[in-house]
Amino acid sequence: MVRVELGPRSYDIFVGENWWHRMPDFLTSISRKSPAIMITDKNVFSLYGMRFLELIRQAGFQAEPAIIPGGEDCKNLATCTLIYEQMVTDGLDRGSTVFALGGGIVGDVAGFVAATYMRGIPYIQIPTTLLAQVDSSVGGKTGVNLPLGKNLVGAFHQPSLVFVEVDFLDTLPQREYLTGLAEVIKYGIIWDRQFFIYLEENLARIKAQDKDCLQYIISRCCEIKAQVVAQDETEKGVRAMLNLGHTFGHALEALTLYERYTHGEAVAIGTICAARLSQSLGLLSASEVSRIEQLIEAVGLPTRFENLDPQAIIAQMYRDKKQVGGRLQLVLPATVGQCRIVDQVPESQIASLLGQCSENS
Ligand SMILES: NC(=O)c1ccc[n+]([C@@H]2O[C@H](COP(=O)([O-])OP(=O)(O)OC[C@H]3O[C@@H](n4cnc5c(N)ncnc54)[C@H](O)[C@@H]3O)[C@@H](O)[C@H]2O)c1
Ligand SMILES: [Zn+2]
């Protein structure tokens, strides 16, 4: 169990293996007086939806499913409207609870719906992808995309509980597993050198998806995220560290129309860009850069991008919503286990670094 300390908005994250049937035991404090809704996507519903629904119904919740198609295309306000309408029809009121069963898409949509329905009702995260288990289900960032960009509409709304069932990962496609690993490696680089070393030393177990190893990894990532969020809930400072590799990564995702790379693949390449830029600014040693590159490569994530113009990448980076006052803010590793935020890197230096990070260089 990991606790996220946020005063009146504090909550627990439970991590375990083969235990989700016991989840209702942990729901005793959640009101059953009003109807509930279980939001999920088509894939997850077909794998776990009915069993999960029966479980919460047996526990006394009068719950109906809302099944969204899944994928980034459905993370939008139109999907939310359909869910709000169902919530009204099903009689959900201010005493109701939203269950979010799925990956980061379901979690972000369900969290946003919970944040806004009747000015905010409680929700529970049951993340089913590695990315959601180590990152998106914790910390209360919720939101949807606009046609003009990702995650442009949202709210901070903390869940009441997070339940992590490691066994859900059994059915996760390999590429989605790897995308989660990119975020796992990120925690080692920004926060915890020992954890990075653990990842280096347990590569074979990670690749084999060893359950004990995964439980440890997920718990440690949740602990780190909980610490970061407790210090800076609304990203005024230290929480920005979690964006390591993301400014580069988001640009790669957008320029390739979200088709070429998964989020984690783009973040992996972006992390290497950040490490190399840090080296070129004299902030990080060459041996640390190669350690970061080696781990990313060894787990099976890409390390270079292909056929993209550095100037186009830089232009796209300026469009990222993380930029404040038109300045590029970059998270750069100072060593494995510690990063800093730098906002005065000359564009020419970023362009020459991007030249080195391309497959054709
Ligand atoms: N709120 C945050 O703090 C935060 C942080 C990081 C990412 N995100 C968001 O998360 C989203 C990406 O999340 P994701 O990577 O989990 O993608 P996702 O939710 O699209 O899930 C990936 C795919 O795996 C399927 N799936 C989910 N669980 C499965 C399981 N157990 N077995 C088999 N298939 C399964 C899904 O149906 C989907 O097709 C992005 O929109 C991103 O912006 C949010
Ligand atoms: Zn991410």
Q: Which of 165, 176, 183, 288 is catalytic?
A: 183
Best mutation site among 20, 129, 146, 235 for ligand 1 pocket (most ligand atoms within 8 Å of CB): 129
* 2-171: CATH class: alpha beta
- pLDDT of 357 > 90? The answer is no
Question: Region 133-159: what's the mean pLDDT?
Answer: 94
Residue 288 catalytic? no
Predicted model pTM: 0.95
> How far apart (Å, rounded) are the C-alpha atoms in residues 151 and 146?
7
Instruction: Phi first, then psi: give them for residue 341, nearest 5 degrees.
Output: -105, 125
Distance 190 CA to ligand 1 centre (A): 22
- pLDDT of 361 > 90? The answer is no
Are the beta carbons of 196 and 47 closer than 8 angstroms? Answer: no
Are the beta carbons of 167 and 17 closer than 8 angstroms? Answer: yes
pLDDT, one tens digit per residue, over 260-298 is 999 999 999 999 999 999 999 999 999 999 999 999 999
> How far apart (Å, rounded) are the C-alpha atoms in residues 239 and 227?
9
pLDDT, one tens digit per residue, over 75-88 is 999 999 999 999 99
**Cβ–ligand 1 contact at 263 (below 6 Å):** yes
Of 252, 339, 285, the residue nearest 330 (C-alpha): 339
Distance 210 CA to ligand 1 centre (A): 21
pLDDT, one tens digit per residue, over 180-236 is 999 999 999 999 999 999 999 999 999 999 999 999 999 999 999 999 999 999 988
Best mutation site among 136, 144, 171, 232 for ligand 1 pocket (most ligand atoms within 8 Å of CB): 136
Q: What's residue 210's pLDDT?
A: 97
Which whole-number Å values give the CA distances from 318 to 256, 309, 344, 357, in the listed order?
A: 16, 15, 13, 19
- pLDDT of 323 > 70? The answer is no
- State both tokens at 300: 């099976």
3-state secondary structure of 320: coil
For the chain, give every domain's residue range. Answer: 2-171, 174-356
Q: Which amino acid is at 86?
A: Q
Are the beta carbons of 70 and 42 closer than 8 angstroms? Answer: yes
Strands 123-127 and 63-68 come out as unpaired
Q: Which of 43, 75, 176, 243 is catalytic?
A: 243
> How far apart (Å, rounded) are the C-alpha atoms in residues 37 and 214?
29
Ligand nearest to the CA of 46: 1
Q: Which of 75, 157, 263, 276 is catalytic?
A: 263
- pLDDT of 29 > 90? The answer is no
Ligand nearest to the CA of 172: 1
Question: Region 350-358: what's the mean pLDDT?
Answer: 87
**Cβ–ligand 1 contact at 47 (below 6 Å):** yes
Residue 3 catalytic? no
Name residues whose C-beta falls within 8 Å of residue 75's C-beta, 6 or more positions apart in sequence: 105, 108, 109, 144, 145
Give just the sign of the alpha carbon dihedral 72, 74, 78, 79: negative
Q: What's residue 328's pLDDT?
A: 87
Q: Which of 225, 233, 265, 276 is catalytic?
A: 225
3-state secondary structure of 152: strand
- State both tokens at 286: 């060459």
Are the beta carbons of 93 and 34 closer than 8 angstroms? Answer: yes
**Cβ–ligand 1 contact at 44 (below 6 Å):** yes
Of 163, 320, 314, the residue nearest 240 (C-alpha): 320
The fold for domain 174-356 equals Dehydroquinate synthase-like, alpha domain (1.20.1090)
Ligand nearest to the CA of 184: 2
Q: What's residue 322's pLDDT?
A: 63
Residue 21 catalytic? no
Residue 141 catalytic? yes
Question: Region 1-5: what's the mean pLDDT?
Answer: 92
Best mutation site among 131, 178, 232, 244 for ligand 1 pocket (most ligand atoms within 8 Å of CB): 131
Q: Contacts by 343-346 with C-beta closer than 8 Å and gap 24+?
A: 345/277, 345/281
Q: What's residue 95's pLDDT?
A: 95
Instruction: Phi first, then psi: give them for residue 314, nearest 5 degrees.
Output: -65, -45
Ligand nearest to the CA of 245: 2
Which single residue is written with the structure tokens 């906002």?
343
pLDDT, one tens digit per residue, over 85-120 is 999 999 999 999 999 999 999 999 999 999 999 999
What would the DSSP string read from start to end of 253-284?
HHHTTTTSS-HHHHHHHHHHHHHHHHHHTTSS
Instruction: Phi first, then psi: give them for residue 113, nearest 5 degrees.
Output: -60, -45
> How far apart (Å, rounded) are the C-alpha atoms in residues 11 and 159?
7
Residue 225 catalytic? yes
pLDDT, one tens digit per residue, over 30-81 is 889 999 999 999 999 999 999 999 999 999 999 999 999 999 999 999 999 9
Which whole-number Å values give the CA distances from 289 to 265, 285, 352, in the listed order?
A: 18, 7, 17
**Cβ–ligand 1 contact at 246 (below 6 Å):** no
More confident residue, 146 or 271: 271
pLDDT, one tens digit per residue, over 328-345 is 889 999 999 999 999 888
> How far apart (Å, rounded) are the C-alpha atoms in residues 278 and 332?
6
Which protein residue has the closest C-alpha to ligand 1 atom 34? Answer: 172
pLDDT, one tens digit per residue, over 289-314 is 999 999 999 999 999 998 899 999 99
Distance 103 CA to ligand 1 centre (A): 3
Name residues whose C-beta falls within 8 Å of residue 176's C-beta, 6 or more positions apart in sequence: 103, 129, 130, 131, 262
Quick one: which H or E segment has residue 249? helix 246-255
